[in-house]
Each structure stands twice: as C-alpha cells, then as structure tokens.
Amino acid sequence: MSQINWFPGHMHKARKEIAEVMSEIDLVIEVLDARLPRSSENPLVNQLRKGKPVLKILNKQDLADPQITEEWLAHFNSQEGVRAIALDASQQKLVKRLPEICKQMIPTRAKAERPVRAMIMGIPNVGKSTLLNAILGRKLAKVGNEPAVTRQQKRYTVQGGLALSDTPGILWPKIEDPDSGYRLAASGAIKDTAIEHELVATFAARFMLDHYADNLRARYRLTDLPEIADDLLDVIGRKRGCLRPGGVVDRHKASEILINEMRAGTLGRISFETLTEWQQKDEAARLAALEAENAAATGENSNDTH
C-alpha cells in the first residue's frame, strides 16, 4: 500500500481548534482501538497535549485478543504521565469510574472547586461517541460505524466532577507505515471509499491465515485452508454464494464479507498487532537512523580531508 493521505478539511480545522483550547485542559483522554493500540495512536495527540497527563482507553476490548491487550496495557502503564485501561462501552461499572480515575491523575485539581477538565481525543471510528454516551448515561453524541461522524467540539459536564470536551476524530496527514494503513482500513478508521477495498481484504485474509487460522476454520466451516490470501477470498465467496454469471466469484462481495465480519467480531477476538512486533520495528528504525547518521558523518569527514 502506498502512503494513505486522507485528511479532510474538517480534520485540519479540528486540529487547529484543539491546539487553541489545550491550555485550558487538565488531562487528555485518548481513545484507542484495543485491536490496534499502536496503529490507532495518533502522533498528533502527543504534539497537541503538550506534556499533559493522558488516560489511554483501549476501547472495544471485547473484540480484541485478551492476552495481547494485557501486554499493551502493561506497556502503556510503564510510561510517565500515562495511565491505561481497557474497556468496552457496555462495562457500566468501569465507565462510571472514569471521572474518579481522571481526578486521581490530577490530585491537586481534584481538591479544587472547579471540575477536572478533560478532552477526549482519538482517530475516527474508535468508539469515542459510544463511550461518551455511556459516560453521560444518555445519548447525546451521534454514533455511527463510519469514520468522521463527530464534526465539531462539544462540552459536557459529567457527574463526579468532570468537564469533558469531545472532539472530532482526526487522522494525521500521512500514514507512512503500510501495515498500519491496512490495519486502520480493516478496522474502519479510514472510509472504505478512501482505499481499495479488495487490497485491504487481501491483507486481512493473509493476516487471518497467519495468526487466526482456527477462527477461519470455525467461522466458514473449513477443514483445509488455502495458503494464498486471494484463494481464501474465493473460498469465502463460494461458501456465501457470491458468484457472478459463469460461476466466477465476486471478489468485491467476498472482500466485504471478510472485512465486515472482522470488524463485527464475528470471526472471534482478534488483535491486529502485538507489542513485540512494534518493539522490533522501532528497534530496526532506530538502527537504520543511526546507520544513516554515521554514514553522513563519515561522508563529511571524507570531504574535510580533500
């Protein structure tokens, strides 16, 4: 996949507005997708929050692989100024504790008369609006399974001493890591019209074959699995009757079935990425940068001798 460049006008406006009001905020609540915590972590959030404490909520944890989620939580909770919890909006007891958790993160502010001011942030379609409605105990925020539903900032007062600002889901201008781009597309964070649907389905099929083969066997009642991703889409298409005249599989319809069932959790609890995978990727990037720096320094020294 080439770099995804999807940054609609309302996202640019939202970023500017968030930067303007950040000085009034005590802490940031960043909602992540528990299935892809790193890929759904917006680097703009760290830039915009300017060192303020952050509560990372790994949302939709009921769709994610629980063991992998625990590893991500331990990783985030080891970082300074960060607290991380995993939940889904149906966990009312934990959701109702969020105001208290926020106050614990700002102990000096918790003793003050005014509420703790928090800003809820996250990329599109990570479940911010659903979570907000659960916190408020009533339906105020518009909910949808398409990204970019919330278009402007809104402020709410929550029982328990919390003032909450909701923001539109914003992506960063360029998603440079190809795997992250595919994961975001497969999860629904990027509009289906912004990418080639069948390419995403091929990526998803390869991922499922490599990591969750048993889930495929159970869901599609398969004894043997094909080794090639495109062949898996054909098998799914035939199983579900997605055939064109002449018995040719309608690959687009088969792609929609696989992606929609991954998103809905019908294929079981799936995590698209592991902490170890990202640690290896980060280390490789660090070594490559160091090598480039050394090469540049060697080149400069060589020029100085001539």
Residues 6+ apart with CB under 8 A from 227: 209
* Cα distance between residue 227 and residue 45, in whole Å: 39
For 7, the token pair is 């940054």
Q: How far apart are CA 300 and CA 136, in angstroms?
A: 60
Distance of alpha carbon 294 from alpha carbon 196, whole angstroms: 39
Place of tokens 């328990």: 160
Closest CA to 256 of 239, 238, 233: 233
**Is 128 annotated for ligand binding?**
yes
Distance of CA 64 to the CA centre of its chain: 12
Q: Would the annotation count 60 as a binding residue?
A: yes
Residue 130, marked binder: yes
Within a 13 Å sphere around the CA of 173, how many CA atoms are in the beta-carbon half? 4
**Amino acid occupying residue 194:** A
Q: Is residue 125 marked as binding?
A: yes
Distances (CA, A) of 300 to 255, 286, 293, 304: 52, 21, 11, 6
Structure tokens at 15: 């970023």
Ligand-binding site membership of 145 (annotated): no
Confirm whether residue 9 is marked as ligand binding.
Answer: no
SS3 222: coil
Nearest-angstrom CA–CA distance, 105 and 99:
10
The tokens for 240 are: 């579900």
129 is in an annotated binding site: yes
User: Three-class SS of residue 253?
Assistant: helix
Q: Can you say which residues are annotated as belonging to the binding site? A: 59-62, 125-130, 169
Q: Can you say which residues are annotated as belonging to the binding site for GTP? A: 59-62, 125-130, 169
